[in-house]
Structure formats: C-alpha cells, structure tokens
Amino acid sequence: MSDKNPIIAITGSSGAGTSTTSNAFQHIFRTLGVDAAFIEGDCFHRYSRPEMDLAVRKAMEQGKHISYFGPEANDFGALEDFFASYGSNGSGRYRKYLHTFEEAVPYNQLPGTFTPWQELRPNTDLLFYEGLHGGAVTDQHNVAQHVDLLIGMVPIVNLEWIQKIIRDTHDRGHSREAVMSSIVRSMDDYINFITPQFSRTHINFQRVPTVDTSNPFSAKDIPSLDESFVVVRFRGIKHVDFPYYLQMIHGSFMSRVNTLVVPGGKMGLAMELILTPLIENLMKKRANTRGQLDWLGR
Ligand SMILES: Nc1ncnc2c1ncn2[C@@H]1O[C@H](COP(=O)(O)OP(=O)(O)OP(=O)(O)O)[C@@H](O)[C@H]1O
Ligand SMILES: O=C(CO)[C@H](O)[C@H](O)COP(=O)(O)O
C-alpha cells in the first residue's frame, strides 16, 4: 500500500469482464482528472502462446495440469516486485500480451506473443491493474498487500464460462473444444489461486443472469446487462452510504447488511457512484503526502 503512489487492481478470472469494466474506471479517471497508468495482468504470463502449448503438453505427459490461473504460467514474483516498485517510486516495467491479430498487427508481431518490456511513463497519479492476480497471495508471494483498492469482477461461474467461450471463439481464434479443455485443465488453479482473491477484495461486483444459463457450453450469446442483476459486496470500507445508493440507483435493494443489489443495466452508474469517492480519497491522501493542498488544482 502506498499513499504516495496508490494502486487500484481489478481482479477476475479469464472472461470475467475485467477488460470490459475498465472502461468505467477510464471514465471516472477522466472525470476526476486522474492520470492513471494502465496495466494488463497478462503481461506477467511466463510464456508466449506456442511456449504455453508446449508447457501444457509436457505437463500432461507427466500427469500434471498447468493453466493461466496458476504460478507455473505466471510470474507472481515479477508482479509483486512491479507493484512494490510503483508503490515506492512510481516506476516499473511492463509489456503487452497480444491476443488477437488486431492487437498484434500494429507491433508487426503474431497473436500470442509479447511486446518488449518497457518503462512506465513517469509522474502518473496512480497505477490501474486489470487481470487475473491483483489479489494473489501464495506461500512465496503477496501481491495483494501492495494494492490500495482491490476490486473483484466475478460473474457467477456459468456466466463467466459463457463469456469466456464466446469471446475466445469469436475474437481470439480458439476452437470451442480448446476453450472447454482449458476450462477443465484450469480447475485446480481456479480454486487455489483465483477464487481466494475474492475474500481479500474491498468490493466484489458479481453479475447474476436472470436467464437460463444452465448449459453454458451450448450458449449462443452472452446474457446482456439488462438480463442480469449485479450483487455488490463491500468489505472493510468505512461509512458506505447505502441510503444514497438506494436512492440514486432505481430498482436497487439490500440483500444483506454489506450487500447491495442493482439491476444489470445500472452497473456502470453503480460503479461510478461507489468508486468515485474512493478514488477521490486515494488522490487526497496522495496530495497530502506531497504537501499539495488541493489535488484537483495540481
Ligand atoms: N457486463 C457485461 N455484459 C455483457 N458482456 C460482458 C460483460 N462483461 C464482459 N462481457 C463480455 O464477456 C467477454 C469477456 O470479457 P473481457 O474480455 O472483459 O474479460 P476479461 O476478464 O478481460 O478476460 P481476460 O482476462 O481473459 O482478458 C467479452 O466478450 C465481453 O464483451
Ligand atoms: O485471458 C487469458 C488469461 O486472462 C488467456 O487465457 C491468456 O492470456 C492466454 O491468451 P490466449 O489464449 O489468447 O493465448
């Protein structure tokens, strides 16, 4: 954690919607005039796509499974060091994992490869990470300890699989069978390294569809926001203004003392209402440590 160089992480499984919901954060940053460095967690994968295919095959020959959810395929140490470095002096090295031809062509590279490592631009106001492991903790590494605001993006699992299958087959050039086998192969790591993070988050946004998703493997499309509710669960945040949210978000209700439920179509509004004051607080603390009276007047 760092008052001087705060880190916001949105963490979720593959297909959970972390990239999609980053747009809401971009909007808030723009409104508040915050200059954020954006980082995609996939840059801490250890392997390019062909290397990963090989590593998966080798592991299978030894009766083991490796997946993008676990430490074999991701460098948790490098991610932890990156967060520590940003927290201490606002610097760090990152790269991009290029998933699609659309992403790869501008770099004259192939999909499934990394761009070269490069330094973050200096003097950003905060670091925004979206990816698989913003709240990861293992015996060797503790990524979560460096994060000032940790958000979980967690559709219920059937919906998560539908989102992953449809996105990976339509946009990333994978076959349905390959995606299904990667879901099966990932299950141990999912339980050990992905789900525990959601007990460390400050807020989880869990999308719950109101249409039948009982066979996610036969779904033809992704249930829309209007076909869902979003369960918003708060942990360790002081003075959550539930009456204000209930008043502002039409159709919302409380299901538990720490849990707000909003109609799916209001998810963007809910994110903005809930996250804006939290981000403002991070910026105020940052300004205080730098002796600035008014961070908006930098
Ligand atoms: N709230 C939502 N409503 C409808 N569709 C959504 C929503 N969130 C995500 N999706 C869809 O689900 C798919 C996966 O979303 P996205 O690419 O954001 O996931 P991700 O968490 O970034 O995955 P990865 O880590 O694998 O890149 C995309 O096709 C996206 O359009
Ligand atoms: O989204 C993922 C993890 O978050 C992907 O599974 C991982 O990045 C590998 O990507 P690809 O299958 O496109 O090579």
pLDDT tens per residue, range 43-74: 999 999 999 999 999 999 999 989 999 999 99
Task: Give the ligand whose atoms come closest to the C-alpha of residue 221.
Answer: 1
Across residues 216-225, what is the average pLDDT? 93
Distance CA 218, CA 98 (A): 28
- Mutate which of 10, 11, 13, 14 for ligand 2? The one with the most ligand atoms within 8 Å of its CB, which is 14
Q: What's the gap in Å between 5 CA and the centre of ligand 2?
A: 29
pLDDT for residue 294:
55
Which tokens hold the place of 250? 């039409």
Strand partners, 10: 130, 151
Q: Report ipTM (2 d.p.).
A: 0.93
**Is residue 101 situated within a structural domain?**
yes
Q: What's the gap in Å between 47 CA and the centre of ligand 2?
A: 11
**Is residue 241 situated within a structural domain?**
yes
Distance CA 287, CA 125 (A): 10
Read off the CATH number of the domain in which 44 is found: 3.40.50.300
Q: Which domain holds residue 192?
A: 7-296
pLDDT for residue 24:
92
pTM greater than 0.90? yes
The contacts of residue 164 (CB under 8 Å, 6+ apart) are 13, 14, 15, 179, 183
Across residues 247-252, what is the average pLDDT? 98
Nearest CA to ligand 1 atom 6: 17
**Is residue 62 situated within a structural domain?**
yes
**Is residue 30 situated within a structural domain?**
yes
**Is residue 74 situated within a structural domain?**
yes
pLDDT band for position 292 (cuts 50, 70, 90): low
**Is residue 2 situated within a structural domain?**
no
| Nearest of 59, 199, 56, 39 to residue 135 by alpha carbon | 199
pLDDT for residue 2:
83
What's the number of domains the chain is made of?
A: 1
Cβ–Cβ under 8 Å, residues 259 and 233: yes
Which tokens hold the place of 212? 């039948």
Read off the amino acid at residue 239.
Answer: H
**Is residue 194 situated within a structural domain?**
yes
**Is residue 1 situated within a structural domain?**
no
User: In the structure, which protein residues have their CB atom closer than 6 angstroms to any atom of ligand 2?
Assistant: 14, 42, 45, 49, 68, 97, 99, 112, 132, 172
